[in-house]
Structure 1
């Protein structure tokens, strides 16, 4: 029997199939941002078309060149700023967030958050690719595997994903999940073997190093505790009109270092989720239903679960806002009728919770 070769972090940052999908998703997300800006009259339709045409030139770019799309020069309209101006896209979106413009448009607000997160994720993957090109040692394999797998999976969660990509992406997610599990199992086994083979002097050095790390940790905790006490003391000075708060370093909005922006430390994370995260949440909830109703006399297996895979896929495909609407779908309804009794029990117990999860999605166009 042929053993399936598991992917590694080097495969993700160097293999063409991963790079092409990554590039496509980033470009689609930036395009989604641009279209929302156009709908809000933050940029003109002509400007939107110009920028989308510019995006198409990055279709075959590597990770480093791809990052340029976050810093495109945008000609804004007077409705989005005090006056029309030319500004980098990342700075423009950050200003929109800071000034609270278009807060009434949750889709744009959510896309801006995802846009900003993709910048950070792509930097991680770029650095990993550079490391893969120059570092062939085994030492960083554990850290890079976990870092790259996590960053790439997160891209699949926050990027705009068209329906035609969903099947391919689900396969890639499963492939990466299997690789993570395999790596952790084999990695831990190898580490244990290395520990057994190590010499007594190596073990003594390790104990000594651990003691040093413990002492450093104690010192850090003491400093943190002292800092908190000083902060409380200053804030409780009598007759102080305003409580002293730690100030963020104020950066000029236009200040950039080699095309990389200095992001705000405090970021308001939207409560909304993407369709990819919705799938994860519903699939996790499926296990809850299995545990709750698995012993029921009406339970005949996975086909009885109201969050079985076909149901979840159809909810996402047709962007249903609640369970009741989804049950009327032709592709779901006949399955529902076959196991109506047990599914009705699930609806009574979990409909509110499931609907709350579905309602938190902001669907992409």
Structure 2
């Protein structure tokens, strides 16, 4: 990620480092540009000054500067545009934000052609383990092969799910980590939700977040959630957009070909960080066996996040979706590059049968010659071929070992 940020600063006037709160954006920005003045909009006085006189504020900035938590001052972007149009020096402005500015009104229009966005995800399991072996790269480069292991079941899956990727709770005991997650979510609701959406009463947003954690890795049913929570569809859609902008949830679109009328086109929703999802579901690593049905969706969301993290190093042009048809045959994650298609299925069990590859076979049939392969991630220890050509059952811990 450091390399991507340095490359962007070398040729783009405005570089925006975005990601959830507390994933290390400020630390990375200061590491890459240690000599730059650093201005944080956590300071309310600076927020007020920027909002009252955006042009004057920007003109008074140093030649090259870091502006932290810029989602709090969206009115600053037209002023930054005006200043950049006078002086397009590469790397002038390094912005960081805990909200996805690409989903905020008018930002893309204001800085089109002048800004590059670098996304900083929570830590992946590869990063936590210091691994240089990347499953996604091996997968799309067709480097997987049969490998028999004497071990029966891989270890550490439930611990990986429940620890999540935020750096701070990784330094704590599981009990203290769960407390951190609760305080973190409360802080985001009380501050960030109000900053980006002008919502005074955030209790309903918190209720929606809780429901989405219960329903992570499920098809998104806005009407159903509206009925269950006693809110309007419009309100649910507004709050869902807020949670997306804050990198708390991810809406994964449905994959389909234009002529594939039997495919379900509803998106899936995932809580981005599995550690947060586990806390909201009152699950801990020791309950992996006793609450197996509840861990299944969390495992799927965990895998989706791990592979999206790996894509940031492998190929920024990879696109992600899910597959499901009207017979309820599905593939948890579809990966595309141009017209090439790969599929990923997730299975909690340590064994598999021919039926478990049905979704990959259906996807292969739909994609035709564009289908390049598939994997069934499971908790068994051996990498084994599936019946569908170019598809393998792969041990879950290949995500990090």
TM-score tier (shorter): under 0.3
Greater strand share, structure number: 2
TM-score normalised to structure 1 length: 0.26
TM-score normalised to structure 2 length: 0.24
